Amino acid sequence: MRVLVTGGAGFIGANFVLRTAARRSEVRIRVLDKLTYAANPATLASVADTVELVQGDIADAELVDSLVADSDLVVHFAAESHNDNSLSDPSAFVQTNLVGTYTLLEAVRRHQVRFHHISTDEVYGDLELDDPARFTEHTPYNPSSPYSSTKAGSDLLVRAWVRSFQVPATISNCSNNYGPYQHVEKFIPRQITNVLSGVRPRLYGDGRNVRDWIHVDDHNDAVWTIIEKGTIGETYLIGADGEVDNRTVVETILELLGRPRDAFDFVTDRPGHDRRYAIDSTRLRTELGWQPQYVDFRSGLSATIDWYREHESWWQTAKDAAEQKYAVTEKVLG
């Protein structure tokens, strides 16, 4: 089976490639990745003999056409993925997330290739802290940020291409991922590497925003489950019942690293900051039989901390660049 993985040098895509290469010898993997600031080709060094890495843009129609023509399956992870960046400059988000997804859809339409689209729970907007509701496949779209609105638009393109052109596609919307190889601009790696660098963690706003954490391996196992057992044209929500507020995450990181639990700073809030996300993944569990393996967030977090402690050379350069970007807008409030 020939699989084209877009965004396979980024966080979730690279974990997908490494796990697939280790467990599925029948799969020939090719990665299409632009190698933006978010990619780290070193992540794929251990599979360089078997995984082909093509550096290119998913919005390059000619390149995409030739790669899709030579594939049995496209798993589409490539995106601009960071909300804070989408607030300072949305243009790359519109180009990659919308035009790039459109370009892939046109190619899979021409060649009738199976397509799986990776998306986010952020397309549903946010929930109040005291709302017992969780997102389901039937929750109306209501995205808040340039990032989440372009992901919502890309989901709608996929749905329309299924209905209008019979493109054989499925969609998954997953909650917040954590694990190895995540870029240090994101919340958990930023706070771990801050503490490892002797810098205090930084909480936006009041620190009470809730995210529904899932280990990246559980996400990627769910993706394979949907590819193998999902119904064409359907959407599946992926989540592992991992709701935790940001302050608790930071306190746990500090504790696991042997620091006082209150050794953090509050900083200016993110504009439009979504309050809470929560996924109901009943459909995926009951219809397709998927179950998460990482059910204890604290031990998953502890393993992730160990990974960052042992891989400083993987993150150090990106850390300096990410902190320079944050320094432009972020103000410490105390």
Catalytic positions = 121-122, 147
Residue placing its CB nearer to ligand TDX in the complex, 71 or 97: 97
Nearest 5°: the CA angle 107, 109, 110 is 65
Residue placing its CB nearer to ligand NAD in the complex, 259 or 307: 307
List, in sequence order, the alpha helices (H) in the chain: 11-23, 61-69, 83-88, 91-93, 101-111, 146-165, 187-196, 216-229, 246-256, 282-288, 297-310, 312-329
- Strands 265-267 and 202-204, by their bridges, are parallel
Rounded CA separation 152/315 (Å):
30
**Are 116 and 225 contacting, i.e. CB atoms less than 8 angstroms apart?**
no
- What 3-state class would DSSP assign to 276? strand
Q: 190 contacts which partner out of ligand NAD, ligand TDX, none, CB within 5 to 8 A by kind?
A: ligand TDX
Residues 27-66 as x/- pattern, contact with ligand NAD by CB under 6 A? -----xxxxx-xx-----------------xxx-------
Among residues 119, 296, 135, the alpha carbon closest in space to that of 223 is found at 119
At its nearest, how many Å lie between ligand NAD and the CB of residue 151?
Answer: 5
Rounded CA separation 310/44 (Å):
17
At its nearest, how many Å lie between ligand NAD and the CB of residue 29?
Answer: 15
By rule CB under 6 A, what count of residues binds ligand NAD?
Answer: 32
Residues 63-82 as x/- pattern, contact with ligand TDX by CB under 6 A? ------------------xx
Amino acid at 171: I
If one counts every other C-beta atom within 10 angstroms of the C-beta of residue 140, the result is 7
Q: 217 contacts which partner out of ligand NAD, ligand TDX, none, CB within 5 to 8 A by kind?
A: none
- Strands 169-174 and 177-178, by their bridges, are unpaired
186 lies in the binding site for ligand TDX (CB under 6 A):
yes
- Strands 73-76 and 52-55, by their bridges, are unpaired
Q: 187 contacts which partner out of ligand TDX, ligand NAD, none, CB within 5 to 8 A by kind?
A: ligand TDX
Q: 31 pairs with which residues across the strands?
A: 5, 53
At its nearest, how many Å lie between ligand TDX and the CB of residue 311?
Answer: 19
Residue placing its CB nearer to ligand TDX in the complex, 6 or 209: 209
| Among residues 120, 170, 191, 246, the one that binds ligand NAD under rule CB under 6 A | 120
250 lies in the binding site for ligand NAD (CB under 6 A):
no
Rounded CA separation 139/125 (Å):
10
| Among residues 3, 4, 5, 7, the one that binds ligand NAD under rule CB under 6 A | 7
122 lies in the binding site for ligand TDX (CB under 6 A):
yes
Among residues 333, 326, 323, 276, the alpha carbon closest in space to that of 87 is found at 326
281 lies in the binding site for ligand NAD (CB under 6 A):
no
Among residues 204, 186, 200, 202, the alpha carbon closest in space to that of 319 is found at 186
At its nearest, how many Å lie between ligand TDX and the CB of residue 207?
Answer: 6
Residue placing its CB nearer to ligand TDX in the complex, 225 or 246: 246
**In the range 208-237, which residues lie near ligand NAD by CB under 6 A?**
none
Among residues 263, 251, 267, 269, the alpha carbon closest in space to that of 198 is found at 263
User: What dihedral angle (degrees, nearest 10) is formed by the CA atoms of 93, 94, 98, 101?
Assistant: -50
Segment near ligand NAD (CB under 6 A); pick from 78-86, 101-109, 293-301, 323-331: 78-86
Residues 83-102 as x/- pattern, contact with ligand NAD by CB under 6 A? -------------x---x--
Residues 160-189 as x/- pattern, contact with ligand NAD by CB under 6 A? --------------x-xx-----x------
Q: Name the site residues for ligand TDX (rule: CB under 6 A).
A: 81-83, 120, 122, 176, 186-187, 190, 202-204, 209, 211, 246, 270
